[in-house]
Amino acid sequence: MNSKLFLILRILLGLFVLVFGLNKFFNFMPMPEISEDAGAYFGALMNAKTLVLVAIVEIIAGLAFIFNKYGALLALILMSVSINAVLFHLTLDPGGIGGAAMLLILNIAVLFGYKDKYQSLLK
Give domain status of residue 16, yes or no.
Answer: yes
Residue 34 lies in a domain: yes
Q: Look at residue 123 and tell me if it is in a domain.
A: no
Residue 21 lies in a domain: yes
Is residue 100 in some structural domain? Answer: yes
pLDDT at 88: 97
CA–CA distance, 86 with 103 (Å, rounded to integer): 9
- Residue 101's pLDDT is 98
Say if 98 falls within a structural domain.
yes
Range of the domain at 69: 3-118
Looking at residue 123, its pLDDT comes to: 81
pLDDT at 121 (0 to 100): 86
Identity of the amino acid at 72: A
63 in a structural domain: yes
pLDDT of residue 68: 96
Query: Which pLDDT score, from 0 to 100, does residue 122 have?
Result: 83
Please count the structural domains in the chain: 1
Residue 89 lies in a domain: yes
What is the pLDDT at residue 59?
98
The tens place of each residue's pLDDT in the chain, 123 residues long, gives 799 999 999 999 999 999 999 999 999 999 889 999 999 999 999 999 999 999 999 999 999 999 999 999 999 999 999 999 999 999 999 999 999 999 999 999 999 999 999 998 888
